[in-house]
Structure 1
Amino acid sequence: MLKRSVFVCAALLAASFRAGAAASGEPELDSRITHYYADYHLNADASHVETHDWTTKVLQTRAIEGAKSQRISYSAGIQKVEILHAYTLKANGRRIEVPKTNYQLEANSGRDKDAPVFSDIATLTVVFPEVGVGDSVALAYRLTQLQPMFPGQFSVMNAFPRQLAYDDVQVTIDAPVSLWAQYEARQMAEHRSEKDGRLRLQWSYSNKHAARSTRQDWSVYDVEQEPGFAYSTFRSYAEIAAAYGTRARPKAVVSDRVQKLADEIARGHETPREEARALYDWVATNISYAGNCIGVGAVVPHDLTFILDNRMGDCKDHATLLQALLAARGIESTQALVNAGALYRLPKIPVVASVNHVINYLPVLDMFADATSPSTPFGMLPASDIGKQALLVDHFREGLRTPVPPVGSNRQTMKTTVRIDADGKATGKIDVSLSGMFAASTRAALREMPKDRLDEVVEGVFRNMGYIGSGKARLDDPKALLDSYHYQVDFALKDLVQLPGPGAFRIFPLFSTEAPVQFYLAAATAPEDTVDTVCWSGISVEEYAYELPENMRILSIPDDMQLENDFLAYRAEYRLKGQTLTVKRTFEDRTPGNICPPQMSAAYKRFAIQAAKNVKAQVLYQ
């Protein structure tokens, strides 16, 4: 059950960690939000003005630094921001206004009056003076949306984690009755009223006593489990995909330049799959990633000429260029919106913020592709895209998800031969073959490594493992985007075992690898998960052959072991014949999907504890 952690909210995680630090009773809080007021005033065309007003009280010294400065990010192209007030309120009641010199604006802008190249996101930082324990910082600002992100549409969602203390939360949405919308308030009191053709929704919430979190893993996050609200004029996620496609689809035009490029890249490839792979590889490795993706002011791809001239683009640009190149070769594709964060189930109220990434889908191959990743082979997806709900821009399919790697596709096989001399020195060879995610991540790690530093790196690996030694590595070329990889390391170690004299040694990898057996067994000492976590399958096979010196008499070797449950298997065989010791260990993780409930994590931990005993067992000698 290989794990992936996605940190979804730094402030929440920090608060949760500290909330869990206290031994009993209520958690020790760094700060509390004494009030948070948000007001959204919508116009008939769905443009809007939003006002935020909040005050945070500092309770611990460690919270001072974070409270001193607050940031407001917005799209300078379609929004404007106005500070209504900003001040420090001292514990004795003295109010200190934030001086004009304490505002810092960082903006992405073009030359002279031209538009910025990729991102128009601006950040206004407010620095509060004289903040200490017991003081409060107060900020209120107005954000005016000059035009909707999507014409005629508006959506917003927010959550108030239980691990944070909120004394008073008030959220208001004021919209024309004629503007259709759907909404929900989770664990918030609601008041609804109509007057003069406008609908006014008011939601309130209070959480004066923050809850302690026992959560260890944030890789799966269900926002609907938290108090909060969602409001949207979109009727469905299909409508969000269609709204994006309206302006993205015309950008994927097959110009003469695109046709010529596609023909050049596809030359020599015979099947649609081979051509699609070549086109994907070219975009993934030649168009670098830059700028923001789905978000305020960032929902329309650039023109392909611009992308090709600059060899750069965001996720929409990568997906649009790949779509055009595929179309030039007669291969149908569409773009798909996904969440590249911790949301594996989209909230029932369709909100644009729930999807923040764009990839491609090729119907003829029934395959997704994410060309923003320069290290992911064709036919695979980056970890952040796996098992996610996908909103196809064309031919929308309800409930469609990106695939999970099939069981057995992620595999590492390591074969080690060791010759131990009479003085404890050792020479040998390590042979490693990888497939699937293991191969892709190893290629990515080695792709930029200078060849002239390889021996130095190998020596450093041995040094970090506590050995004095050297080695020579022979690597396959890691640059190709392939789902297989192979390398060998010849080594010479001065102190593998203590000889002459009695002693013991453990059987474990003598070189760093992507997925050793002991990596799977880390769950034996990890805290138990109390929530769903991201996980996937994998197989690790380790074979060892030790040629022992004549002055080493083996007293005992570890026992064989076979363990198995519904989704895990561990097998270990130890054979001593003369002065040759052979070992084979196999750990099979057959986790079928990429979401593991707490019960599965608990079963994994119990299994790992048993298997770890065998892996830790030593060879005793005299």
Structure 2
Amino acid sequence: MHTTTLRLFAVTALALASASALAQNAAPAKTASAAKAAAKPEAADEAPARVERQHISYTVQADGSYIEQRESALKVLQAPAIERAKHESISYSASIQTLEVTEAYTRKADGRRVDVPKSNFQVETNEGRAGGGPAFSDIATTSLVFPDVEVGDTVVVNYKLIGKQPMFDRQFSVLDNVSANSYQGDLKVRIDTPASLWSQNRTFGAMKQVRDETVGDRHIVEWTYQNLTPAKDTRRDYSVYKVEDFPGYAFSTFRNYGQIAAAYGERALPKAAPTPRVRKLADEIAAGKKDQREVAKALYEWVSTNIQYAGNCIGLGAVVPRDQEFVLDNRIGDCKDHATLLQALLAAKNVPATQALINAGNVYQLPDIPVASSVNHVLNYLPGLDLYVDATAKGIPFGDLPVAVAGKPVLRVDQPELKAATAPLSSKRNRQRMVTDLIVQEDGSVKGKVEVELEGQPAIETRAAFRKVREKDSQEMIKKYFEAGGLSAQGSFTQDDPQALLDKHRYSAQFEVKQMLPVPGAFPVAPLFFNPMPVATFASSAQYDDSVYESEGQCIGGRSEEIYRIEFPATMKVIAVPPDARQEWEGSSYEAKYTLKGNVLEARRVIVDASQGPVCTQAHNRGYQQFAKKVLPNLKAQLVYQ
């Protein structure tokens, strides 16, 4: 399946009523010939406001702490932007930063300046009780309201964030992109570091370097960017993101990514030493288990199911795990806390483990310049089993990984210089088999039964979704599902116990739906009840305009089989059924067979998407789209009766 991986909606009783199939937003672009024929890119629509000026500077100290200064000027072009322009919020970590707003005013269209009065400022802080420190976040927010803003005015704010201590000792790194499809009047970026700190930098796209020199004991780098005639964004697929593809810049005192892993590990690994409490807990969880894999599985499942996610935005908490006692006392933690506790539990049972840093977003190739923000998630690696596990991701069986971290480069804390990667998800494991049995009544009412068997990622995500459904809600599931389509129904729903962390799942639904079908009438043969991986989703890219993909995209394959038995009453006559079909392309295939026996239609169709993710090339995506276009007509063909 192309562009997006198998992805389920969050299922609740109400969500089931409007259940949708897996999202697959394939990403078409202009054909190569059309692109060549275009004299210039289509201009972007005028925005209601535009950035006239944005000046950013970082003044870095020898210990890695820095002062960040930002000045911005936003001009209001249309009335809808007034409300947004009037409000500005600045957030920062109160324990390691202080804020100074040096200027804030409205520049009227006639040149007058109207300063923001002190009464228009509001400061919100996160604090603990009775002088105690906050548990989750020390983020403070200063909000200000600009006075007298009208169309044609410009709001200006200038502020400093003064760092008290660095995230990593004697290290500084920053990376940012700007949109090539938005107006940018005057962007300037300046980085001023001690000449004694080694550094490297790079610009991307139309970003220009205008200075790179040493003055005395300081090294100064400056970049500029301007985009007065932004082009319309024609790219529809951002499931794979490369920072080098967009205007921007990167600066780092890290020589390589290994230094980032080592810097993280220097403060994180000591917190992974098992305490007496952790040793006792590990013995209880793994009692009776001898095999290393079984021990690791039990400890992983305990952390995954018992420690809830809670962010850590308190100063250095962004890069330093909490203490084990806090995590166990409160049964909460962020990704670093999950990984650190699991490592400690594993160590208590003599199972070797370490931590690894990864990008959990849409970055599949780390930028050339090593920047700490490029890795935003922590998981564990078990060398003895050669296995990556992510206890932060809930509902994932031991030995599997969530889609967001599969097939990506990782920074191993135990071997910082090692080039390593998580394994991609196996397309062959993603399977769905759905059997539907329908009996149509003379008035168009339908009695039916649907049985669904899942394996791999769709099973994992379905289990995770159904865990949130309460027992009493599942009893109303059928009614609510069909009510969403304006139909009256009753029935029952059964499933395997969804609580276990497994990669297989089965569920079934029986229903009676009043006057569901028109008589006489027609309908395409398609699922009548929720299923996460219907055949049609594998062909959805065919519905886009005659186009090619302009970028590579996230993808994952799989197999979906649908079997139907539809029985009509003797008083009705089936006058047309969809034709049999077969299509193949580079390992992917579609086969459909429709057999009419009297008033009973038996249908079977199977689609196999052989795409090997997590990233598919432009050429592959184009080819698969052409395959899907040949499949789609058969899926749309209707069963006609009277």
Same-fold call, TM > 0.5? yes
Aligned letter for 1:598? Q
2: CA distance between counterparts of 1:425 and 1:48? 70
Q: Does 1:434 align with 2:434?
A: no
Alignment match, 1:210: 230
1: CA distance between counterparts of 2:314 and 2:379? 11
Alignment match, 1:69: 87
1: CA distance between counterparts of 2:244 and 2:135? 36
Query: 5+ residue gaps in structure 2?
Result: 7-40
2: CA distance between counterparts of 1:135 and 1:311? 51
Alignment match, 2:172: 154
Q: Does 1:128 align with 2:150?
A: no
Aligned letter for 1:396? P
2: CA distance between counterparts of 1:151 and 1:598? 42
Instruction: Tell me which of 51, 67, 75 is aligned to 1:33.
Output: 51
Q: Secondary structure at the match of 1:305?
A: helix
2: CA distance between counterparts of 1:101 and 1:585? 68
Aligned letter for 1:572? A
Q: Secondary structure at the match of 1:217?
A: coil
Aligned letter for 2:176? N
Alignment match, 2:637: 617
Q: Secondary structure at the match of 1:73?
A: strand
Instruction: Tell me which of 393, 403, 415 is aligned to 1:383.
Output: 403
Alignment match, 2:263: 243
Alignment match, 1:580: 600
8 Å contact 1:293–1:356 — kept in the other structure?
Answer: no
Moved more, 439-448 or 235-244: 439-448
2: CA distance between counterparts of 1:177 and 1:498? 79
Moved more, 442-451 or 529-538: 529-538
Shift of 1:478: 1.1
Q: Secondary structure at the match of 1:192?
A: strand
Correspondence 1:471-490 to 2 at 5 A: 471-490=491-510
TM-score under structure 1 length normalisation? 0.93
Correspondence 1:195-274 to 2 at 5 A: 195-274=215-294
Correspondence 1:358-369 to 2 at 5 A: 358-369=378-389
Alignment match, 1:607: 627
Shift of 1:322: 0.6
Aligned letter for 1:94? R
Aligned letter for 1:209? T
Alignment match, 2:580: 560
> Identity percentage over the alignment?
45
Shift of 1:341: 1.5
- CA shift digits 1:120-154 (9 cap, x unpaired): 22222222222222111111111111111111111
Q: Does 1:443 align with 2:458?
A: no
Alignment match, 1:86: 104
Residues 110/214 of structure 1: CA separation in 2 closer, same or farther (3 Å cut): same
Q: Secondary structure at the match of 1:325?
A: helix
Alignment match, 1:42: 60
Residues 382/107 of structure 1: CA separation in 2 closer, same or farther (3 Å cut): farther
Alignment match, 1:304: 324
2: CA distance between counterparts of 1:199 and 1:424? 78
The count of residues paired between Structure 1 and Structure 2 equals 605
Q: Secondary structure at the match of 1:431?
A: strand
1: CA distance between counterparts of 2:454 and 2:469? 19
Instruction: Tell me which of 157, 168, 172 is aligned to 2:186.
Output: 168
Aligned letter for 2:4? R
TM-score under structure 2 length normalisation? 0.90
Alignment match, 1:416: 436
Shift of 1:372: 1.2
Correspondence 1:450-469 to 2 at 5 A: 450-469=470-489
Aligned letter for 1:354? S
1: CA distance between counterparts of 2:469 and 2:252? 48
Shift of 1:569: 1.4
8 Å contact 2:108–2:153 — kept in the other structure?
Answer: yes
Q: Does 1:495 align with 2:511?
A: no
Aligned letter for 1:73? S
Q: Secondary structure at the match of 1:390?
A: strand
8 Å contact 1:118–1:313 — kept in the other structure?
Answer: no
Q: Does 1:179 align with 2:197?
A: yes
Shift of 1:363: 1.6
8 Å contact 2:139–2:313 — kept in the other structure?
Answer: no
Q: Does 1:281 align with 2:281?
A: no
2: CA distance between counterparts of 1:491 and 1:271? 46
8 Å contact 1:182–1:231 — kept in the other structure?
Answer: yes
Aligned letter for 2:180? R
Alignment match, 1:189: 209
- CA shift digits 1:84-129 (9 cap, x unpaired): 1011111121211112222232322223443322322222222222
Alignment match, 1:9: none
Alignment match, 1:549: 569
8 Å contact 1:78–1:297 — kept in the other structure?
Answer: no
- CA shift digits 1:315-341 (9 cap, x unpaired): 110000011111112111111111112
8 Å contact 2:2–2:553 — kept in the other structure?
Answer: no
Alignment match, 2:25: none
Aligned letter for 2:242? D
Alignment match, 2:135: 117
1: CA distance between counterparts of 2:543 and 2:450? 28
8 Å contact 1:295–1:356 — kept in the other structure?
Answer: no
Aligned letter for 1:493? V
Q: Does 1:96 align with 2:98?
A: no
